[in-house]
A and B are shown apart, each in its own frame.
Chain A
Amino acid sequence: MAGQPDLLQGTLDVLVLKALSWGPQHGHAVARMIRAATEGAFDVLDGSLYAALHRLEEREWVEAEWGLSDKGKRAKFYRLTPRGRAQLRSESASWERYAAAVSMMLGATVQPDAT
């Protein structure tokens, strides 16, 4: 796992917001979703993930409530706030622009004009 790219804090935040965009989840489920969706491309410590969740809660992008998990255990569920949803929208848009720009350059077959 060593040598894999470090996940920037901001990127992790977006991933968490995205994971919550399907509905309220507890932290473990969020971790599982990110791991599954990125097919293990990022190695995220679960602790960092929880730090992100609390950070987002402090920014009021997500809010939390204690509830019961599928197995009937007491768990803390997070959900997006309207502000969090707006944040996710703007972050995804800028990420897409960034990714498009990077892949355009990397996918170029003709030397770009240097003037």
Chain B
Amino acid sequence: MKTPWFRYRDFFGSNPQRDLTDEIRFHVETETEELIAAGLTPEDARQKALLKFGDVDRFLAECGASDARRLARRRRAGLIDVLRQDSRYAVRSLLRRPAFTATAVLILAIGVGANAAVFSVVDHLFLRPPAGVRAADELRHVYVRRTRDDGVSSFQARFPFAEARIIDSAIAGRFPSTVWARRDLIVDAGHGSRRVPGAWVAPTFFPVLGVRLHAGSDFSATAPQPGEPFASAVISWAMWQRELAADPRVIGRTVKIDSQPVTIRGIAPRGFAGIDIDVTDIWLSIGGGAGSASANRWYNDWGTIAFRVLARVPAGASDDELARRIDAGVRVSTAAAKIARPHVKSRNVASHAVPGPILGARGPDGTTHEESTAAVLAGLALLLLAIATANVANLLLGRALDRQREIAVRIALGMDRLRLASQVAIESVLLAGAATVVAVATTVWAGAILRVMLFPRTEFKSGPLDLRVAALALALGIGAAIVGGIVPLSATIRLDLTGTLKRGSRDGGGRRSLSRATLVGIQGALSVVLLVGTGLLGRSLHNIRAIDLGVDVERLISVTFGDRASESRVKDVTELARSLPGVSGVALTAMMPFWDQLGARVLLTREGDTVRTVDRGSGYVPAGPGYLRVMGTNVVRGRDFTPEDRAGAVPVTIVSEELARRVWPGRNPLGECLRIDRQESACYSVVGVAEDAHAFQVVEEPKPIFYIPLEQPPDPTAEESRLRVLVVRTSGATAAITARLRAELRDTATALRDRSVIATADVLRPQYRRWEIGAKLFAAFATLAVLLAGLGLYGVLSYVVSQRQREMGIRLALGADRRRVMALVVREGARQIAVGAVLGVVAALMLAPRISGLLYRVSPRDPFAVGAAVVVLVVAALLAAMIPARRAMAVDPVSAMRDD
């Protein structure tokens, strides 16, 4: 009875309701007959039989329900059986063609893996609040939308310290709020100085974030009074582990930060690494800053805009109220700024507070370079997935075509088309599953590499692989399999039976190879898009590297002295550096090149009797004798400073070309007179014009800069006039001299501990790096894309050749030139790729403006990049076509014709 027949009867044709009534009828009739035989009248017998049976309706209900449950279970079991059978069949047929299976899995895995790796980064940047922060969705960064008199408006996220403090106190009555600024610091924890990503924070910083320190205390208990130096710091758990050997006695220890002794007061909890995408390793309390002139520059300067205001909007409070309070604060600070800097006329006509989320990437002011890189990356990964999907669709379709005859036979023998389609679908899903496993496994390291490359300063809260990433990978894999499986699926369902059986498999699929050609075309098009992107970023990188900084960065080292370094100490180190072999020049200044902020000054000139403010944002560079020569900045007119330009001598200045252009357009600036900040300032006579030099960035507009002899500072009493930095020019590579200088300075012992020796190229390197990474990433994605497209084309052409072997045999037998047969195949490939290339160029021209933020001095529609992309694709296509073409050429006419 456990025969398949039984099972199938359950599926088809069984009628449980009728069976039940039949069963009762049989029982009652039999019983009646027996009772009649026992002597009852037929009437009575039937009565009694029914009476003995009991409630018929209840029986029907109870037994009917029981039967229904049983049948449903059986049907489920049957379905699972069928699925299991089909899966087993699919696994077997996949294993029978390991090359096909491995290729398909690999291709899908590339697409899925790229997306998983990128998602693990994007997720971190855009979707997750910073770790270790309590109720991060309640936190708001303050943004102010400013509208200028010319109608242009922009979001301001960072404020001068004074303004940030005013806004903070305007909010504080109602909302917990705090002020902070990111600032890299030079830290010496006992084994050499190192640049550490840090932040200055108000005493309320940790309490507002709800961050409880791992050890020690935060700044909220005993905030330094204004006027006190930065006395204390909180360090990150990671830094504590890495650089202080997780020593619990580290609290209370003194380290040097920006050459100042600072006491470590606390250790942040594990996992908390600041609240923006870059990791923070050290937090300094914002006090007054009298102890540090470099800090003063940040603090008391309305032109230094670095501080952010952070507020918590608890449940029940409204963002509107927060905005109103911010607006009130901004009004006060605008008034205060006018008093502090009467000579500066603001162009802002309106401002409006906008509380934004804590995640910088989602703020209203747009995104940073890193964040837009991540967004573009996500786009690239999706493109690659599309290519991989098209490719797998192609492979599956090829396979479906190969099996056309087999399938036609099975359908003719009565197999359900839907069942066949489900087998094809199961095959796709199995491939996707295997690919996802491979992809997820590779994400672990691919994601890690991506993170280190893209975000070297970001501490990721979780490994590259977590449940979300795995779930996404699985979803994408199955999605790709379904999309990739649709074409072969519809081919199976729509299969023309008689045609296929009559034709035989050899000549099959004229129309189908059209859809395969379309898939190859799509891959080619997407590859072109990626190739164009690669070309654009490559050109940008080339342009970036070719920028003339106006400074000979590669041969420059700077030595920063602490605020309290004595003059004799500075002099000793200077002489020591000068005496080193390989050093071609040394000069003193007050700022580390490409690191320290230029003091922004207001310049005035006197014309006749009127004093005119000529420029507001000019950068002031104090320069000792020989400074410009050491920096490699050429004096284009007039003269350089000499040792004669000392205190007491006639005050002189050298201006940059940009400054000269702005202040004296079309005139000779030599001999003109500049006053600095105040009308009554001394008159600095312009003695030279220097070529424009970059001050901070590799990419920056020429800034107006003026140089003033170190001994003739405009404000001799200011602390910053005491700062000293030594710049050293080497005749060869800097590495040896840097090491030498460090060693030498250490050797000359105790008096010279305040050093900080850094090659300027190392300071700038991170700025080049992101351009390099962009180009490399695009190149990597494009390479994969071209490889995939080439594979796709190869697959289609190989198929075409094997399908048309007989035709080619005939051509050859009839005397066709072998090379023409080869050309036939190549032409076939060329046609498919040409269509793809054209589509790709159109798509690239449409998409490229989206990455214009990643480009430098290259039009997003750069003809060179587009041309190169097409050439690369065509070459790849020719290479891919070569193998099948040669195979076509080598067809043996006799065996090709006999073999059917």
Contacts and interface: CB of A to CB of B under 8 A. Distances in A.
Contact of B58 (A47, A73, A75): A47
Contacts of A79: 1
A97 interface: no
Contacts, number: 67
A26 B69 contact: no
B62 A45 contact: no
B27 to A, nearest CB: 5
Contact of A69 (B6, B24, B30): B30
Nearest to B22: A74
A55 B68 CA distance: 11
Contacts of B19: 66, 76
Interface string B27-48: 1011100000000000000000
Contacts of B52: 45-46
A47 B57 CA distance: 10
A86 B331 CA distance: 89
Nearest to A46: B53
A51 B26 contact: no
B49 to A, nearest CB: 8
Contact of A45 (B22, B53, B66): B53
A73 B63 contact: no
A11 interface: no
B53 A76 contact: no
A28 B31 contact: yes
Interface string A13-26: 00000000000001
Nearest to A47: B54
Interface in A72-90: 73-76, 79
Contact of A28 (B1, B2, B30): B30
A69 to B, nearest CB: 7
Given A57-B70, A63-B1, A79-B1, A50 B26 contact: no
A63 B24 CA distance: 18
Nearest to A66: B19
A89 B30 CA distance: 31
A51 B53 contact: no
B1 A51 contact: no
A28 B54 CA distance: 14
A12 B62 CA distance: 16
Nearest to B70: A58
Contacts of B27: 26-28, 31, 46, 50
A54 B63 contact: yes
A94 interface: no
A48 B27 CA distance: 13
A50 B31 CA distance: 14
A65 interface: yes
B514 interface: no
A27 B24 CA distance: 9
A64 to B, nearest CB: 8
B56 interface: yes
B606 to A, nearest CB: 108
Contacts of A66: 19
A73 B30 CA distance: 9
Contacts of B30: 28, 69, 71, 73
Nearest to A26: B26
Given A28-B27, A47-B53, A69-B30, A58 B22 contact: no
Given A28-B31, A74-B22, A75-B26, A48 B66 contact: no
B69 A51 contact: no
B55 A47 contact: yes
Contact of A73 (B29, B53, B54, B55): B29
A76 B6 contact: no
Which of B22, B23, B55, B59 has most chain A Cβ within 10 Å? Answer: B23
B290 to A, nearest CB: 89
Given A45-B53, A46-B31, A58-B66, A51 B59 contact: yes
B26 A74 contact: yes
Nearest to A56: B66
B6 A65 contact: yes
A26 B52 CA distance: 17
A26 B62 CA distance: 19
Interface string B216-248: 000000000000000000000000000000000
A80 to B, nearest CB: 11
Given A27-B23, A65-B1, A69-B26, A46 B66 contact: no
Contacts of A54: 62-63, 66-67
A111 to B, nearest CB: 44
B18 to A, nearest CB: 11
Interface residues of B, number: 25
B773 to A, nearest CB: 64
A113 to B, nearest CB: 47
A21 B6 CA distance: 22
B54 A76 contact: no
Contacts of B69: 58
A75 B54 CA distance: 20
B391 to A, nearest CB: 49
B6 to A, nearest CB: 7
A4 B23 CA distance: 28
A9 B7 CA distance: 29
A31 B62 CA distance: 18
Contacts of B58: 47
A69 B33 CA distance: 14
B13 to A, nearest CB: 12
A76 B26 contact: yes
B1 A48 contact: no
A16 B55 CA distance: 20
Nearest to B3: A65
A50 B59 contact: yes
A33 to B, nearest CB: 14
Interface in B604-635: none
A69 B34 CA distance: 14
A112 to B, nearest CB: 42
Given A51-B59, A65-B1, A65-B6, A28 B66 contact: no
Nearest to B14: A66
B253 to A, nearest CB: 75
B304 to A, nearest CB: 82
A46 B54 contact: yes
Contact of B26 (A57, A63, A65, A73): A73
A57 B23 CA distance: 14
B73 to A, nearest CB: 8
Given A28-B30, A69-B30, A73-B29, A50 B63 contact: yes
A75 to B, nearest CB: 5
Contacts of B67: 54, 57-58
Contacts of B23: 27, 50, 75-76
B709 to A, nearest CB: 102
Nearest to A77: B1
Interface string B563-580: 000000000000000000
Contacts of A31: 27
B720 to A, nearest CB: 91
B61 to A, nearest CB: 10
B4 to A, nearest CB: 14
Interface string A33-59: 000000000000111101100110110
A26 to B, nearest CB: 7
Contacts of A65: 1, 6
A51 B62 contact: yes
A12 to B, nearest CB: 13
Which of B30, B56, B67 has most chain A Cβ within 10 Å? Answer: B30
**Closest CB pairs A-B (n = 3):** A45-B54, A47-B54, A54-B63
Interface of B: 1-2, 6, 19, 22-24, 26-27, 29-31, 52-56, 58-59, 62-63, 66-67, 69-70
Given A28-B26, A50-B63, A51-B66, 9 more contacts: A46-B52, A46-B54, A50-B24, A57-B67, A57-B70, A69-B26, A73-B30, A74-B26, A75-B26
12 contacts: A28-B30, A45-B53, A46-B27, A46-B53, A48-B54, A50-B59, A50-B63, A54-B62, A57-B70, A58-B69, A63-B1, A73-B30
